[in-house]
Homo-oligomer: A and B are copies of this chain.
């Protein structure tokens, strides 16, 4: 359902314009992904046509189906590419930050919101991802889980199991809640026209993480 390796074309696979077949294919595929960011980001998934994407990529429809089975497959790839880049950059920022939960969290959040400041990326990652298909919904769930796990890694000590169980809830639900607060602040930021500064949204998201930390420490201390 995702990508295609070979299909209608190329019985021989010789060079063309100084590039091998696989190089040409990879380049076209990359162009389609970048065009997908533009078209999906500007018109949404529903408003995007294969023709418009190919036009943006400077390719014709035939090459679309060389790399992707349909526009949903391209969308899934676009989404995974964007999220993968963000995750990678976030992990780098965490590694380079002082080894302390607050600094690491702030570094990660700053990277996240810097990406969400790009309207096309924000629209794809925050809005368009929903309601396309159950398959894509599963991709979203998996992605969110990964970020929740990242959150749990970062702040593992905040979610002392005994404390958590005493409150009658689970660390997974709490970290999903924190991830959701971050996502939603970004969503509001985008839908409301980016009126707030980057610092403001980073601090708001961070305040919730900090509050959760403080709350946990307090609860543990008073027991």
Contacts and interface: CB of A to CB of B under 8 A. Distances in A.
A82 interface: no
A141 interface: yes
Copies of this chain, tallied across the complex: 2
Interface string A180-218: 111111011001100010011101110110111011101
Given A144-B188, A184-B179, A174 B204 contact: yes
A21 interface: no
B176 A188 contact: yes
A137 interface: yes
A58 interface: no
Interface stretch (A9-17, A30-38, A90-98, A163-171): A163-171
A207 B167 contact: yes
Interface in A98-141: 127-132, 137-138, 140-141
Contacts of A184: 144, 176-177, 179-181, 183-184
Nearest to A187: B180
Main secondary structure of the interface of A (DSSP, over half): helix
* Residue in A170, A185, A201, A211 whose Cβ sees the most chain B Cβ within 10 Å: A211
A155 to B, nearest CB: 12
A62 interface: no
A191 B141 contact: yes
B170 A200 contact: yes
Interface of A: 44-46, 127-132, 137-138, 140-141, 144, 167-170, 173-174, 176-185, 187-188, 191-192, 196, 199-201, 203-205, 207-208, 210-212, 214-216, 218
Given A184-B184, A208-B208, A208-B212, 17 more contacts: A127-B130, A127-B137, A128-B130, A128-B131, A130-B130, A131-B131, A131-B132, A144-B188, A167-B203, A169-B204, A173-B201, A174-B207, A178-B181, A180-B185, A180-B188, A210-B215, A214-B215
